[in-house]
């Protein structure tokens, strides 16, 4: 990508194609939000200061003769120039290219794909994909970044007009850190004003924990929001702080502010976003809590403060009881961290419980966005499992449009119902058309409807709820009693056994067994999982993960009151060699597979259906005498 020239001269680089596209999008689609350039630059400067500060905790020589960490902004109202300087960690020659010359390319193309044209949505995306620096090209036609890394004697200047290319050249710079400078473009001259800059800083960056000097005057409070008296903090302060720490552009769903004295001393603000960042569905992501000790920043994404299933929570924790020298290794083992963590998890769960009880609409919208994280918690967080199970919600045959809890189900269970029944399926229609549900519908037994693949793992993980076992209705071992009515016009025992034996011969290895069904009311047959085997949904997932996965065999259940089954029995008695008999049995089996979504090869099903239809129409024409 580069055209290298001799040392000490200017090197020219081309941006990747995607990058130019991105710059174009940012500068054009987010035009009405131009003021965020300042927030992004301050945020980067503050990160750079945090990094040098953190390194200095273990090596106090690092700060050298420039120990006062701060951000300086200079501007000239007449010349319309602007610069922002930090004495943070700085960037080397290669880091300049890597950090602001390229964007992690997978992220970029993903970003471009997701651009919607809706300004607010696109703003959110910018934050999430970390393309903040480039927002500066909304207000400037040409930008320079002068930087010297803390462990390099050489300094470099990066220059670009934000279109096709950028250049890098060596410069003299006697101190570590970074200066970004530019002249405001024609349309952005309003920003070259003390009032304007001050008000933007107040809005977005008041809580940056380093002083921000504006033409030598300090403008921000730089008091940590969490350390301030709750009564003095306005709703907007929390919202802006949330946007600042989470890179979000929308408001959070809720927040909690703690000031705890015992058993450990700490202050914390936690935020629940309105919706999860899509990247969060990746299980390997750390939780999003920033750790401070006595107001000093220690680390981002501190993973020991919350269990992984709570990785959608953003916030800060600042403790007096930890040592300033904590490192990643020591936070892990610290009993102080453990106590803080327990406290926060308890409070978060209590908040969810409060919504679930008192504000069901809020809980329903929370569940819609974050239900899968709660499910993950049920599966992985043993110490909170019981509480999380109470937070579980799903639909059911009795309540197809309103979420219910296991408690709701349990409370309206019939006195002699011994088990809690559930069924997994893609959607309500598929579930309600499944033969397996007939018995339950007829006997008015409620069945939980589970639409999510993760539910297949969660149900066995819950196991029993208040001593009632959770049972999938497609399990062979289900406890149901046969209805007398059904038995009345069923096939006789001998005929039934003869037919079942024949079906077993025809299907052979394809099925585990063929038995009489107690659960079917109308349908001719169904497939169920043998005892302790996986259900159809879970099998589908296994197949997705492992191409060679064979799957377990199903048990075929036959409804001997069904008139088609009775016809087959009559054909078997009168004309056992008739090929129609075999065709019908294979058709029944493949039809049942199709219904549960596990028929891999439909190539025989269709010609066989046509053959059977041919016979039926021949007979019909004969019967009406044509």
Query: Which one among 19, 25, 89, 313 touches ligand ADP, defined by CB under 6 A?
Result: 89
Residue 595-624 contact track with ligand ADP, rule CB under 6 A, x = bound: ------------------------------
- Distances 72 to 69, 197, 428, 613, 624 between C-alpha atoms, Å: 10, 12, 60, 83, 96
Q: Are 367 and 393 in contact (CB under 8 A)?
A: yes
Q: Please, what is the minimum distance in Å from the beta carbon of residue 72 to ligand ADP?
A: 12
The single residue among 15, 29, 62, 88 that binds ligand ADP, judged by CB under 6 A, is 88
Closest CA to 386 of 466, 302, 331: 466
Among 20, 99, 443, 552, binds ligand ADP (CB under 6 A): 99
Strand 464-465 with 468-472, pairing: antiparallel
Cβ-based nearer residue to ligand ADP, 43 or 397: 43
For the packed helices 119-129 and 17-29, what is the interaxial angle rounded to 10 degrees? 140
CB nearer ligand ADP, residue 86 or residue 474: 86
Q: Which among 334, 466, 336 has a CA at the least distance from the CA of 405?
A: 466
Cβ proximity to ligand ADP: between 45 and 420 the closer is: 45
Whose Cβ is closer to ligand ADP: residue 73's or residue 595's?
A: 73
Does the protein bind ligand ADP through residue 40 (CB under 6 A)? yes
Number of residues that bind ligand ADP (CB under 6 A): 16
- The piece of 124-132, 197-205, 390-398, 506-514 that touches ligand ADP (CB under 6 A) is 124-132
CB pairs under 8 A, 24+ apart, for 476-482?
A: 476/528, 476/529, 476/530, 476/531, 476/555, 477/531, 478/419, 478/421, 478/519, 478/528, 479/418, 479/419, 480/439, 480/443, 480/518, 480/519, 481/518, 482/518
| Binding segment (CB under 6 A) for ligand ADP, from list 42-50, 59-67, 136-144, 411-419 | 42-50
Quick check: 446 binds ligand ADP (CB under 6 A)?
no
Which residues between 126 and 155 bind ligand ADP (CB under 6 A)?
A: 130-133
Q: Output the smallest distance, CB 117 to ligand ADP, in A.
A: 22
Candidates 25, 45, 290, 291; binder of ligand ADP (CB under 6 A) is 45
Determine the residue with CB nearest ligand ADP: 130
| Interface stretch with ligand ADP, choices 44-52, 199-207, 249-257, 605-613 (CB under 6 A) | 44-52
Residue with tokens 């059904």: 486
Judged by CB under 6 A, which of 34, 37, 42, 86 binds ligand ADP?
Answer: 86
Q: Which residues on adjacent β-strands are paired with residue 293?
A: 296, 319
Q: Are 480 and 441 in contact (CB under 8 A)?
A: no
Question: Alpha carbon 432 to chain centroid distance?
Answer: 29
Q: Is residue 104 within the footprint of ligand ADP (CB under 6 A)?
A: no
Segment near ligand ADP (CB under 6 A); pick from 87-95, 223-231, 253-261, 357-365: 87-95
Number of H helices and number of E strands within the chain? 21, 23
Considering just the CA atoms, what is the radius of gyration of the chain in Å? 33
Stretch that binds ligand ADP, among 63-71, 89-97, 115-123, 414-422 (CB under 6 A): 89-97
How many C-beta atoms surround the C-beta of residue 92 within 10 A? Answer: 18
Tokens of 288: 């999003």
- Options 71, 100, 293, 514; binder of ligand ADP; rule CB under 6 A: 100
Nearer to ligand ADP (CB atom), residue 107 or residue 591 = 107
Between CA 2 and CA 505 the distance in angstroms is 71
Handedness of CA 483, 484, 485, 491 (dihedral sign): positive
Q: Closer CB to ligand ADP, residue 86 or residue 438?
A: 86
Q: Which of 549, 556, 561 is nearest to 587 (CA)?
A: 556
Q: How far is the CB of 12 from ligand ADP (least distance, A)?
A: 20
We find the least distance from the C-beta atom of residue 52 to ligand ADP, in angstroms, to be 9
Distance (Å, whole) CA 58 – CA 452 = 48
Q: How far is the CB of 421 from ligand ADP (least distance, A)?
A: 48
Q: 359-388: which residues touch ligand ADP (CB under 6 A)?
A: none
For residues 569 and 484, give the distance between their C-alpha atoms in angstroms, rounded to a whole number. 21
How many residues does the structure list for the chain?
Answer: 626
CA distance 224 to 296: 10
Nearer to ligand ADP, 45 or 289 (CB): 45
* Residue whose CB is less far from ligand ADP, 130 or 460: 130
The verdict on 163 binding ligand ADP (CB under 6 A) reads no
Task: Say how far residue 392 (Cα) sits from the centre of its chain.
Answer: 17
Give whichever of 181 and 523 is closer to ligand ADP, judged by the CB atom: 181
* Stretch in the footprint of ligand ADP (CB under 6 A) among 82-90, 498-506, 510-518, 559-567: 82-90
Q: Taking CB under 6 A as the rule, does residue 91 contact ligand ADP?
A: yes
- Least distance between ligand ADP and beta carbon 100 (Å): 5
Closer CB to ligand ADP, residue 95 or residue 275?
95
**What CA–CA distances, in Å, run from 63 to 35, 53, 92, 212, 549?**
32, 8, 17, 19, 58
CB of 127 to ligand ADP, least distance (A): 8
Judged by CB, which is closer to ligand ADP: 273, or 371?
A: 273
Considering only CA atoms, which of 68, 66, 98 is closest in space to residue 173? Answer: 66
CB of 177 to ligand ADP, least distance (A): 7
Which of 27, 44, 209, 341 is the binder for ligand ADP (CB under 6 A)? 44
132, 103 Cβ separation under 8 angstroms: no
Q: Which stretch binds ligand ADP (CB under 6 A): 13-21, 125-133, 202-210, 501-509?
A: 125-133
Spatial contact of 266 and 260, defined as CB atoms under 8 Å apart? yes
| Contacts to ligand ADP from residues 174-193, by CB under 6 A | 178
Q: Which residues contact 578 (CB under 8 A, 6 or more apart)?
A: 571
Q: Return residues touching ligand ADP (CB under 6 A).
A: 40, 44-45, 48, 86, 88-91, 99-100, 130-133, 178
């Amino acid at each position: 990508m580069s055209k290298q020239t001799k040392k000490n001269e200017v090197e020219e680089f081309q941006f990747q194609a995607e990058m130019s596209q991105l710059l174009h999008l940012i500068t054009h689609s987010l035009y009405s939000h131009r003021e965020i350039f300042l927030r992004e630059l301050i945020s980067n400067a503050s990160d750079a200061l945090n990094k040098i500060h953190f390194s200095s905790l273990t090596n106090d020589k690092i700060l050298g003769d420039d120990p006062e960490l701060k951000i300086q902004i200079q501007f000239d109202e007449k010349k319309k120039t602007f610069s922002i300087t930090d004495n943070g960690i700085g960037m080397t020659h290669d880091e300049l290219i890597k950090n602001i010359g390229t964007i992690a390319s997978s992220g970029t193309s993903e970003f471009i794909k997701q651009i919607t044209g809706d300004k607010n949505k696109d703003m959110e995306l910018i934050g999430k994909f970390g393309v903040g620096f480039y927002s500066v090209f909304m207000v400037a036609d040409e930008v320079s970044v002068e930087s010297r890394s803390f462990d390099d004697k050489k300094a470099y200047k990066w220059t670009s007009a934000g279109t096709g290319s950028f250049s890098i050249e060596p410069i003299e710079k006697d101190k570590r850190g970074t200066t970004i400078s530019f002249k405001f473009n024609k349309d952005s001259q309003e920003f070259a004003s003390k009032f304007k800059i001050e008000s933007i800083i107040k809005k977005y960056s008041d809580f940056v924990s380093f002083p921000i000097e504006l033409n030598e005057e300090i403008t921000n409070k730089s008091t940590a929001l969490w350390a301030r008296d709750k009564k003095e903090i306005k709703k907007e302060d929390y919202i802006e702080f949330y946007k600042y720490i989470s890179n979000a552009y929308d408001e959070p769903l809720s927040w909690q502010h703690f000031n705890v004295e015992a058993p450990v001393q700490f202050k914390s603000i936690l935020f629940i976003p309105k919706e999860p960042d899509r990247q969060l569905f990746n299980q390997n992501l750390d939780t999003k809590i920033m750790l401070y000790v006595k107001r000093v920043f220690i680390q981002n994404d501190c993973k020991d403060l919350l269990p992984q299933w709570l990785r959608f929570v953003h916030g800060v924790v600042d403790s007096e009881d930890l040592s300033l020298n904590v490192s990643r290794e020591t936070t892990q083992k610290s009993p102080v961290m453990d106590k803080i963590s327990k406290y926060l998890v308890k409070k978060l769960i209590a908040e969810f419980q409060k919504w679930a009880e008192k504000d069901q609409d809020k809980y329903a919208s929370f569940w819609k966005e974050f239900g899968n994280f709660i499910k993950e918690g049920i599966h992985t967080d043993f110490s909170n499992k019981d509480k999380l199970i109470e937070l579980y919600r799903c639909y059911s045959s009795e309540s197809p449009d309103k979420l219910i809890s296991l408690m709701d189900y349990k409370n309206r269970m019939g006195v002699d119902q011994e088990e809690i029944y559930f069924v997994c399926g893609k959607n309500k229609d598929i579930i309600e058309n499944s033969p397996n549900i007939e018995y339950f519908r007829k006997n008015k037994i409620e069945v939980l409807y589970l639409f999510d693949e993760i539910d297949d793992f969660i149900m066995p993980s819950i196991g029993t709820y208040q001593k009632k076992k959770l049972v999938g209705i497609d399990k062979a071992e289900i406890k149901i009693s046969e209805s007398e009515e059904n038995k009345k016009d069923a096939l006789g025992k001998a005929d039934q056994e003869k037919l079942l034996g024949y079906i077993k011969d025809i299907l052979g290895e394809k099925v585990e067994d063929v038995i009489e069904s107690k659960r079917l009311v109308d349908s001719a047959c169904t497939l169920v999982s043998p005892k302790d085997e996986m259900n159809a949904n879970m099998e589908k997932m296994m197949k997705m993960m492992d191409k060679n996965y064979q799957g377990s065999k199903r048990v075929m259940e036959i409804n001997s009151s069904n008139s088609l089954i009775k016809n087959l029995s009559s054909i078997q008695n009168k004309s056992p060699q008739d090929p129609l008999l075999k065709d019908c049995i294979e058709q029944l089996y493949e039809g049942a597979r199709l219904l549960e979504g596990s028929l891999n090869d439909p190539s025989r099903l269709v010609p066989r259906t046509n053959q059977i239809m041919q016979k039926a129409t021949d007979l019909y024409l004969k019967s009406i005498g044509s």
